[in-house]
Amino acid sequence: MKPPKVMEHIKPAHIECSKEQIAKIVVMPGDPLRAKYIAEKYLDNYELVSDARNMYVYTGYYKDKKITVMGSGMGMPSMSIYAFELFYFYDVDKIIRVGTCGGLKEEMNVYDIVLANSSYTEANFAYSYNGDPTHIAYPSNNLNKKIKEVAREKSLDLYEGCVMCTEQFGFYSDNEHVLKRVPANTNIIAEEMESFALFHIANSFSKEAAVILTVVDSKFKKDFISILDREKSLDTMITLALDAIIL
C-alpha cells in the first residue's frame, strides 16, 4: 500500500513551521486546547511552533525526549490532513492519538481506557485516499505492545478491541442500524471519529500509529463527562501515551 502521489512543488498547507521544529514522535489529541493543556502540564522548554487555523502545535521535551503535541480536529477529514502532513512533509515516525470515545459495551464506565487493535468504518475513506477498498485498518503492533507494557507497569486496565470510526457523532444519530451492519466477526467495543484515517495513512507510509481513548459517554449509562473535563481530566490516558511513545 502506498500514499497518493503529491505534486513536487506542494508545501504544507495547514502546519506552518520548519521541519526541524516538529519532533519524530507526536501525541495527538483531537482538541487543540487539550494539546495546549498537555504541553503546559507535561513538557519542558516547550514552544508553540504553529498555530495556523488555531490548530496548536507544541514541541518540547518529556523526560528529556523531544516530542510534539498537536491537535487533529474532529473527524477523518481533519485527521487525514494533519497526519498526512506530519508523515509526508515532516518525516514523523510515530503518532499516538489520545482521544475520547463512546463505550459500546455494557460493562464499560466513563474514564475507562480503550486501546484500539483495529478500526472499522463504513466510509470510503481508504478508496478515496489511495484506491484501497478496505473498511478496516490496523495500528502498529510494536506501538500497541509498548502501550500495554507501560499500562502493566502503571497497573492500568485497558479494554482492547476494534473501534468503529464514524462520520458523525454517534450519540447525535441512530447508530444502531450501523452496528447491525458490522461484519459478524468484528467485535466493536467503542466508537469515535478519527482512528481509521490515522491508521490507514500511517500504514501507507510504513509509519507507526496507535490510538488510546477514554470513555466519556455510553449508551448504557447516564454518566457523561463535561466539556471542561474532556479537555483537562484525561491525565491517565495522556501519561500512558507520553511514556509509551518515548520508549
Confidence of residue 66 (pLDDT cuts 50, 70, 90): very high
Confidence of residue 245 (pLDDT cuts 50, 70, 90): very high
- Amino acid letter, 27: V
Residues near 18 by Cβ (< 8 Å), separated by ≥ 6?
none
Among residues 193, 199, 129, the alpha carbon closest in space to that of 164 is found at: 193
144-to-74, 132, 213, 245 alpha-carbon distances in Å? 23, 24, 13, 10
Write out the catalytic residue numbers: 217
Among residues 8, 233, 228, 230, the alpha carbon closest in space to that of 100 is found at: 230
Q: Does residue 8 sit in helix, strand or coil?
A: coil
* CB neighbours of residue 219 within 10 Å: 16
pLDDT at position 2 over 90 = no
pLDDT at position 208 over 80 = yes
Indicate the burial class of 65 (C-beta count within 10 angstroms; 0-12, 13-18, 19 or more).
middle
> Looking at residue 43, what is its pLDDT?
98
Of the candidate ranges 53-67, 80-94, 162-176, 199-213, the one whose mean pLDDT is the lowest: 162-176
Helix boundaries (H) for 71-131: 76-88, 125-130
The CA distance from 224 to 127, in Å, is 35
Report the helix count and the strand count for the chain, using DSSP H and E: 8, 10
Specify the pairing of strand 57-62 against strand 208-218. Answer: unpaired
> Looking at residue 219, what is its pLDDT?
77
* CB neighbours of residue 171 within 10 Å: 12
Q: What is the per-residue burial (b if ≥16 Cβ within 10 Å, else e) of 101-123? A: bbbbbeebebebbbbbbbbbbee
State the maximum Cα–Cα separation within the chain, in Å, rounded to a whole number: 52
Domains of the chain: 20-245 (3.40.50.1580)
The CA distance from 197 to 228, in Å, is 26
The CA distance from 118 to 165, in Å, is 10
pLDDT at position 221 over 90 = no
Of the candidate ranges 95-99, 105-109, 142-146, 227-231, the one whose mean pLDDT is the lowest: 227-231
pLDDT in tens, 152-162: 999 999 999 99
Confidence of residue 230 (pLDDT cuts 50, 70, 90): low
pLDDT in tens, 138-194: 999 999 999 999 999 999 999 999 999 998 877 677 777 777 777 778 889 999 999
What is the rounded average pLDDT for all residues in the chain? 93
